[in-house]
Amino acid sequence: MTSILIVDDEEMICTYLEMHFRNEGYTTFSAQNGLEGIKICQEHFPNIIISDIKMPKCDGVQFIQLIKENKDYNPVIFYMTAYSDVTIGTAYDLGVDALFKKPFQMKDILGGIKKFSKIKEEHGQIEEQKKINDIKTSENAQLTLLAELSTGISHNINNHISYITTSSYVLKKYLEKENDENDKYSKMIQISEKIHAHALMTYRIVKSMKMLARKNHSEDEKENVCLLSIIQSSIDLLEENLKLGMIKYIINCHNDIYIKCFPEQIMQVFLNLLQNSCDALSSIESGDKWINIDVCRIDNNIEIAFTDSGFGIPENVRNRIMDPFFTTKDRGKGTGVGLSLSKKILEAHDGTLSLDESSKNTRFVASFKST
């Protein structure tokens, strides 16, 4: 819902405007000077600001200058003034969208709100799409480079892994034979088993990186892929994060469930959901920390639910959580595009991504049509 802030030291004007705006369905705030207005902007980020110019403590010019310091906040701004010394040029130099002389006509202000809100919205959508495209271009460039490097690197790594797995297996068999006669080799057997297990894990990580780096270009190139393999590959890449965060995970998925998809794109979605859970759980200092991945068939759909032991998404941000560039993470820790891009990826696969608001924990559900 569009919100409007009225900043004027005349209480009657604030009351009059608020009454009309509320009748039109707008949410309203009011302030008696620029300092009060700044506090409201910092807390509520109103879409539209209507400000007087001559005010005590902090006048309209100072108020707008302070607003403009926040480059991420770009409301529609109107000036109201009864003084002839404030010209349209002066107002526009400050970044004001329109100037209304007192006494004003209510229909003029309402018309201005509708006109400039539409312009700002269209401009915002263009800028938003440009940012998304820039991020996609950057990600595609990184994935292209990764794809070019991964083929040669994975070949070399796999050669070494093959030697390690084979040698550790032969060593284990030899030690088991010797251990029948002498129990002193039992510890060495355990070590050889760990070497073998870690070598296999390295192989799976390399395989997962190759999957992530692949690029498909046409609908015909979609593959019928085992869902469990995509989930496991995503977990493999985040294994270290899970260990460092002391986060347990459980995967409930049969190995006979397949989806037709671009696997590297679906893996990106799963990685994002899992990383979000890791980030949220990292702030929890005590108690069990876990992530459950539950897969089930419902009618003609396959649903994958990612649930973590976090406290859930605050109610006041649930409607915005998948908006582009919206993030609840600290500055520098999140771009705010992960969930919105994940949603777009799933929609391109005729699927959906939704937040389960009925869950007391954080629970996202990805849904696909079954093949």
d(CA 35, CA 55): 10
Residues 228 and 309 placed together within one structural domain of the fold: yes
How many angstroms separate the CA atoms of 115 and 341, rounded? 30
- The CATH number of residue 292's host domain is 3.30.565.10
The verdict on 235 and 180 lying in the same domain is no
Same domain assignment for residues 240 and 347: yes
- Please confirm whether the linkage preceding 314 is cis (ω < 30° from 0): no
Rg of the chain (C-alpha set): 29
Number of domains in the chain: 3
Q: Are residues 211 and 233 in the same domain?
A: no
Given this model, what pLDDT does residue 294 score? 96
pTM of the model: 0.49
The single-letter DSSP state of residue 286 is S
* Full residue range of the structural domain in which residue 232 is found: 216-371
Is 288 domain-assigned?
yes
Whether 282 contacts 240, CB under 8 Å: no
Q: What residues of the chain score a pLDDT lower than 50? A: 326, 331-332, 334-336
d(CA 75, CA 121): 10
Residue 123 in any domain: the answer is no
**Residues 149, 209: Cα–Cα separation, whole Å:** 11
Contact 40, 29 (CB under 8 A): yes
Rounded-to-integer distance, Cα 229 and Cα 206, Å: 14
Residue 247, classified by CB atoms within 10 Å of its CB into exposed (0-12), middle (13-18) or buried (19+), is buried
CA 304 – CA 205 distance, rounded (Å): 22
* Predicted pLDDT at 335: 41
Find the CATH number of the domain harbouring 24. 3.40.50.2300
What is the reported pLDDT for 332?
Answer: 44
Three-state DSSP state, 256? coil
Look at residues 155, 183, 215 and tell me which one is the last residue of a structural domain: 215
Q: Are residues 47 and 145 in the same domain?
A: no
- Furthest-apart CA atoms within the chain: distance in Å: 105
What is the DSSP annotation of 223-235? EEEEHHHHHHHHH
User: Residue 147 falls within a domain, yes or no?
Assistant: yes
Report pLDDT for 24. Answer: 86
In this structure, are 152 and 196 located in the same domain? yes
pLDDT of residue 139: 59
pLDDT of res. 143 = 57
Q: What is the pLDDT of residue 289?
A: 92
DSSP 26: -
Residue 232 and residue 320 in one domain:
yes
**One-letter identity of residue 320:** R
Pinpoint the alpha helices (H) of the chain.
11-23, 34-44, 60-68, 88-93, 106-179, 186-213, 227-237, 239-244, 263-282, 338-348
- Is residue 262 within 8 A of residue 220, CB to CB? The reply is no
Residue 59 has, within 13 A of its CA and on its CB side, a CA count of 6
Question: Does a structural domain hold residue 115?
Answer: no
Residue 236 domain flag = yes
Where do we find the tokens 């849904």? 367
Within-domain flag for 49: yes
Confirm if 328 and 287 have CB atoms less than 8 A apart. no
Structure confidence at residue 367 (pLDDT) = 93
On whether both 222 and 310 belong to a single domain, the answer is yes
Do residue 201 and residue 75 come from a single domain? no
One domain, residues 191 and 234: no
- Looking at the structure, tell me whether residues 259 and 354 fall in a common domain: yes
Domain end (from 215, 244, 278): 215
Measured CA to CA in angstroms, residue 134 lies from 126, 215, 327 at distances of 12, 18, 18
Boundary (domain end) residue, out of 215, 238, 272: 215
Tell me, yes or no, whether 251 lies in a domain.
yes
| Total residue length of the chain | 371
Q: Are 352 and 367 in contact (CB under 8 A)?
A: yes
Residue 242 lies in a domain: yes
Q: Are residues 233 and 343 in the same domain?
A: yes
Task: Name which of 246, 263, 247 is nearest 307 in CA terms.
Answer: 247
